[in-house]
Structures are given as C-alpha cells and as structure tokens.
Amino acid sequence: MNLCPKRWSRRKEARPHEILEAALELFAEKGYAATRIDEIAKRAGVTRGTPYLYFAGKEEIFKALISELLLPALDEAEALFNGFSGSASERLRCVVHVWWQSMGETRLSALPKLMVAEAGNFPEVAQLYNEQFVARGEAIFRQVIEAGIASGEFRAIDVEYALHVLCAPVVMAMLSRYMPCGHAQLDPVRYLDTLLDLMLHGLYPHPDSTRSEVSDHA
C-alpha cells in the first residue's frame, strides 16, 4: 500500500487543490448528490478521511469550488479583458472568446451546471456564486454594451435585457458540454461566432453585408 514512502512529503499544500479538482470532475459527471466523498478522495489519491482535514464537509467543498477555482479564473479573465482595447464590437468579441477560453472550455464550466441543479438546495453557495461570479460576469458584458451605446456604435437597446440575451448562449454552451443533446455536436467557437454575428447584425439581410464576419471561420 505504501509503495512510495514519501508520496505526500511535498504535497501537503497541494492536497486541498487536488481534492477540489477531483470534486469538480465528479460533480460535473454525476452532480452533487450522486458524488460520494469516497470517490472524490480516491480520485484525489487520498482516503476517505482526508477531505475532512481540509474541508468541513461536502457542502464546504462545493463552496470552495467557487471561491478557490472559479473566482480566480474570473480574476484572470477580467485581467485579460481589461488589457484589451478596441471598438465595442471588437471588445465584445474579445469578451466572449476570452470567457470561453478561460472558463467555458475548461472543467470550470461544470459549475454553472452544478448551480442550475443545486442553487435551491444550497442558498449560501448560490449567493456566493451570484454575487461573486454572475454579477461580475454580467458587469463585464454590461460595460461593453454600455460603452458601445455611448459611442454610438450600438443601438440604444435596453442594456439589462440585451445583456442577458447575449450571455444566455455563452452559458448554454457551458451547460451543453454535460448534455448529450443538440448543442453537443456543434463546434463551440463557431457557435459563439454565430452568436456574435447575429447579435451584431441580426437575421435581416444587411444593407451593407461587409460586416458579416462569421464566414471567416468555416
């Protein structure tokens, strides 16, 4: 059993993170309730009792997924957005793609799925998620839209509503990774490009069709 005698000598401070990664994978696959602490421990390479050395219980692991994995990723994404300048449409494109690269296509996309499923059962976790993640994410999109309207690049639509229309496909793309349904066969990047194209130009034929950009991607 103890094949490697020093197998945890250097790992001490890494343990909580390993446990969280294991938990995230399993919660993504099976949901919160169907994931056993044993499985998390085993996938993290530890035994049943170890998670309790670092987390008070299953719910605390859930909460830590938000604060220890998701929020830091949002911090990084925000830094990328902030370092980007350009037209409103260029910033919108940037925000959508950076969002996807830094969160959507990573294991973190499991968290929106988890929150859809468990928000009602864990109000405390839901509050953390909403205040620290959703609100900040929406603020990013809101800024871009508002700036576009202010500069006259965008129409003066209702920002709050447009914002959610814009976010919904991004979130759905994250959720779809865990469902064997229609979305699943689509290429997410092309999907997001279509989103941007439609959001910017609409379905109606353009008076000037030079703005269409989705065809670049094939």
Partner DNA sequence: AATGAATGAGCGTTCATTCAT
Partner DNA sequence: GATGAATGAACGCTCATTCAT
Kindly identify the residues of this chain, within the stretch 24-53, that bind its own copies according to CB under 8 A: 29-34
Question: Which residue stretch of 1-9, 89-97, 122-130, 203-211 sits at the interface with DNA (rule: CB under 7 A)?
Answer: 1-9
The interface mask with its own copies, positions 138-177, x = CB under 8 A, is x------x--x---xxxx-xx-xxx-xxxxxx-xxx-x--
- Residue 69 has what DSSP assignment? I
Report the site for DNA in 18-37 (rule: CB under 7 A).
34-37
Are 140 and 98 in contact, with CB atoms under 8 Å apart? no
Which of DNA, its own copies, none has residue 159 at its interface (CB below 5 to 8 Å by kind)?
A: none
Are 199 and 166 in contact, with CB atoms under 8 Å apart? yes
Question: Which residue stretch of 56-64, 133-141, 160-168, 178-186 sits at the interface with DNA (rule: CB under 7 A)?
Answer: 56-64
Q: Which amino acid belongs to residue 183?
A: H
Number of Cβ within 10 Å of residue 138's Cβ equals 16
Backbone φ, ψ for residue 182 (5° rounding): -45, -55
Question: Which residue stretch of 11-19, 120-128, 169-177, 195-203 sits at the interface with DNA (rule: CB under 7 A)?
Answer: 11-19
CA distances to 22, 40, 51, 59, 84 from 54, rounded to whole Å, are 14, 13, 6, 12, 38
Rule CB under 8 A: is residue 13 a binding residue for its own copies? no
Report the site for its own copies in 62-121 (rule: CB under 8 A).
89, 113, 115-121
Query: Cα–Cα distance between 100 and 64 in angstroms, integer?
Result: 22
